[in-house]
Copies of this chain bind each other. A is one copy, B any other.
């Protein structure tokens, strides 16, 4: 299960609340992993029960109390065990409802196919624009991060960038082929 381990990953950077964890997910790994609050809070409880995390309650005035979580030694061990771990199966979890749609679009009009790819293209280009702020984000957080973390963050950002570029080129070539037969 990756959710628990990615939470451990964040806890390994700094003490954090469930609320801020949700924001951390959104502003970093959201391109390749999502986590809702409704998942995060129970997951934190589960991590604590297993002895992988601990929390202190911070009493606040005027706003709700918060629980600051930190990773334990046992949790750090579990994180590193997982990082070096065997069961990778990196390609098996690829899934795309969009490609299913493409696959079965054979008896629609070419115009509809073109529209399908055009919308996809647009989404990809919007995502590319959104990615522009990432290098600055990485630099901003580089201070808190131990070791080579920013390098690895960059690796995942480059993956996203290459992926979107590839998708755009692919969609354009599909559209070109459909325009030929129209």
Contact = CB atoms under 8 A, between A and B. Distances in A.
A101 interface: yes
Nearest to A2: B97
A107 to B, nearest CB: 3
Given A88-B119, A148-B110, A104 B6 contact: yes
A166 B163 CA distance: 7
A94 B167 CA distance: 13
B99 A33 contact: yes
23 contacts: A2-B100, A5-B100, A6-B100, A9-B103, A12-B107, A33-B96, A34-B95, A79-B104, A89-B123, A90-B98, A90-B120, A90-B123, A91-B124, A93-B97, A94-B96, A102-B159, A103-B156, A106-B145, A106-B146, A106-B151, A107-B147, A108-B147, A162-B169
Given A29-B103, A90-B119, A93-B96, 15 more contacts: A2-B97, A5-B104, A6-B103, A32-B95, A32-B99, A80-B108, A83-B112, A90-B98, A93-B95, A93-B98, A106-B145, A106-B148, A107-B149, A151-B177, A166-B166
Interface of A: 2, 5-6, 9, 12, 28-29, 31-34, 79-80, 82-84, 88-91, 93-108, 110, 112-113, 116, 119-120, 123-124, 127, 145-153, 155-156, 158-159, 162-163, 166, 169-170, 173-174, 177-178, 181
